[in-house]
């Protein structure tokens, strides 16, 4: 087994930041909890109780007890979701809760216990749907959001290694039975493809994903300008990927139909919350304001600058001058 540590700079950097751990009480997040504690890294935890299993209440109490024993704050939310599209709704509820805590409490990082098996499952799930190289690569160890950073310290280690770490040290954790329910697509990929391949070819898979990470850095556009809550960047072949990333700043995860609409429309409103528009040079993303009155002079400036229709109201409300885009100046 590889020594359970990532590059030292990841762990050392966490000693200088205010960290929130996404916690469930399962193998992955419990292993990360104990490792952070061992390394004297400051953190608190956030957990969501979906009330779907007999053990849900016990897992919630475990989270509270563990946090208390280690002197950590525990943010717990109890929800009940509809069974239809449960995984997507659970993810949305979970991250909305995390974002709220981060905003209100001033955390710098969100720590996630994703591991190599999770990354491989994502790869397969994208592979069968049709995806580009960046999408196949999936989530990275460090990802910058608008106001905080997502860090996944365990991303290069397998679940088997995490279990060995917990067992060796006699640490407590829960087993989520839903992870074995084959009605969930992710579980089928894990059982029939991910786990067998990692058992046989872990080192090669690890090297491949690390190489893909380097390729991803070259593929993804990353330069944009932010003016208040208006995002502007130059158009490119990869612009949709950056649109998807910026939408997450507004707590919106774009579905495939939404991405398809954005790709063909010059100006549209997404989820009733954000305006996404394009002219021949720039992409504009802004909060969507409905029925906003604008002066004739401003409308004329927008026409000359080719500002997308749905982005204009926000620019007017924030006194953002369209002239800065007429000659390609940002």
Of 217, 237, 256, the residue that ends a domain is 217
Q: Do residues 165 and 50 both lie within one domain?
A: yes
Q: Do residues 67 and 196 both lie within one domain?
A: yes
Instruction: Give yes or no for a contact between 129 and 47, defined as CB atoms under 8 angstroms apart.
Output: no
Structure tokens at 25: 């009480």
Q: Do residues 197 and 249 both lie within one domain?
A: no
Q: What pLDDT is stored for residue 252 in this prediction?
A: 93
Q: Do residues 157 and 265 both lie within one domain?
A: no
Place of tokens 């990869």: 238
Strand order in the sheet with 74-78: 74-78, 44-49, 19-22, 109-111, 149-151, 142-144
Does residue 119 fall inside a structural domain?
A: yes
Q: Do residues 43 and 168 both lie within one domain?
A: yes
What is the CATH number for 123?
A: 3.40.50.620
Q: Which residues contact 225 (CB under 8 A, 6 or more apart)?
A: 231, 232, 233, 330
Q: Do residues 91 and 207 both lie within one domain?
A: yes
Q: Do residues 72 and 212 both lie within one domain?
A: yes
Instruction: Give yes or no for a contact between 126 and 133, defined as CB atoms under 8 angstroms apart.
Output: no
Q: What pLDDT is stored for residue 328 in this prediction?
A: 43
How far is Cα 26 from Cα 59, in angstroms, rounded to an integer?
9
Q: Do residues 170 and 235 both lie within one domain?
A: no
Task: Provide the domain limits for residue 73.
Answer: 8-217
- Cβ-count burial of 311 within 10 angstroms (0-12 exposed, 13-18 middle, 19+ buried)? buried
Of 197, 217, 237, the residue that ends a domain is 217
Q: Do residues 286 and 202 both lie within one domain?
A: no
Does residue 93 fall inside a structural domain?
A: yes
Does residue 77 fall inside a structural domain?
A: yes
Instruction: Give yes or no for a contact between 308 and 277, defined as CB atoms under 8 angstroms apart.
Output: yes
Does residue 1 fall inside a structural domain?
A: no
Of 217, 237, 267, the residue that ends a domain is 217
How far is Cα 77 from Cα 47, in angstroms, rounded to an integer?
6
Phi and psi torsions of 272, nearest 5°: 65, 10
Q: Do residues 163 and 267 both lie within one domain?
A: no
Does residue 301 fall inside a structural domain?
A: yes
Q: Do residues 271 and 165 both lie within one domain?
A: no
Mapped onto helix, strand or coil, the DSSP state of residue 197 is helix
Q: What pLDDT is stored for residue 302 in this prediction?
A: 95
Structure tokens at 9: 């700079």
Instruction: Give yes or no for a contact between 277 and 311, defined as CB atoms under 8 angstroms apart.
Output: yes
Does residue 72 fall inside a structural domain?
A: yes
Q: How many domains are contained in the chain?
A: 2
Instruction: Give yes or no for a contact between 72 and 63, defined as CB atoms under 8 angstroms apart.
Output: no
What is the mean pLDDT, run by run of 10 residues, along the chain of 330 residues? 50 90 96 97 96 89 97 95 81 92 95 96 90 80 83 95 97 84 85 93 93 77 78 88 90 92 95 95 94 90 94 94 69
Does residue 3 fall inside a structural domain?
A: no
Does residue 292 fall inside a structural domain?
A: yes
Q: Do residues 138 and 276 both lie within one domain?
A: no
- pTM for the full model? 0.69
């Amino acid at each position: 087994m590889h020594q359970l540590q990532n590059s030292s700079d990841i762990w050392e950097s966490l000693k200088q930041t205010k960290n929130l751990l996404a916690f469930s009480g399962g193998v992955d997040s419990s292993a990360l909890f104990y490792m952070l504690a061992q390394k004297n890294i400051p953190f608190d935890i956030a957990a969501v109780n979906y009330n779907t299993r007999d053990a849900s209440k016990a897992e919630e109490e475990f989270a509270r007890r563990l946090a208390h024993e280690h002197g950590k704050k525990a943010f717990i939310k109890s929800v009940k979701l509809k069974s239809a599209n449960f995984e997507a709704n659970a993810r949305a509820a979970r991250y909305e809760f995390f974002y709220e805590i981060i905003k209100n409490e001033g955390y710098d990082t969100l720590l996630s216990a994703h591991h190599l098996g999770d990354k491989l499952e994502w790869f397969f799930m994208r592979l069968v749907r049709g995806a580009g190289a960046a999408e196949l690569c999936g989530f990275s160890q460090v990802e910058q959001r608008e106001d905080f950073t997502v860090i996944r310290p365990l991303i290069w280690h397998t679940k088997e290694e995490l279990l060995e770490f917990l067992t060796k040290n006699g640490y407590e954790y829960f087993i989520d039975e839903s992870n074995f329910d084959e009605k969930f697509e992710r579980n089928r990929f894990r059982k029939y493809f991910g786990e067998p391949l990692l058992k046989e070819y872990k080192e090669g898979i690890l090297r491949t994903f690390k190489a893909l990470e380097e390729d991803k850095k070259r593929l993804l556009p990353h330069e944009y300008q932010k003016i208040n809550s208006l995002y502007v960047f130059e158009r490119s072949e990869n612009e949709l990927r950056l649109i998807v990333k910026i939408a997450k700043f507004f707590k919106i995860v774009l579905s495939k139909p939404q991405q398809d609409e954005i790709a063909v429309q010059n100006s549209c409103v997404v989820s009733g919350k954000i305006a996404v528009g394009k002219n021949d040079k720039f992409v504009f993303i802004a909060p969507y304001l409905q029925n906003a009155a604008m002066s004739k002079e401003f409308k004329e400036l927008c026409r000359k600058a080719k500002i997308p229709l749905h982005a204009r109201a926000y620019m007017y409300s924030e006194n953002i001058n369209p002239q800065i885009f007429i000659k390609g100046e940002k």
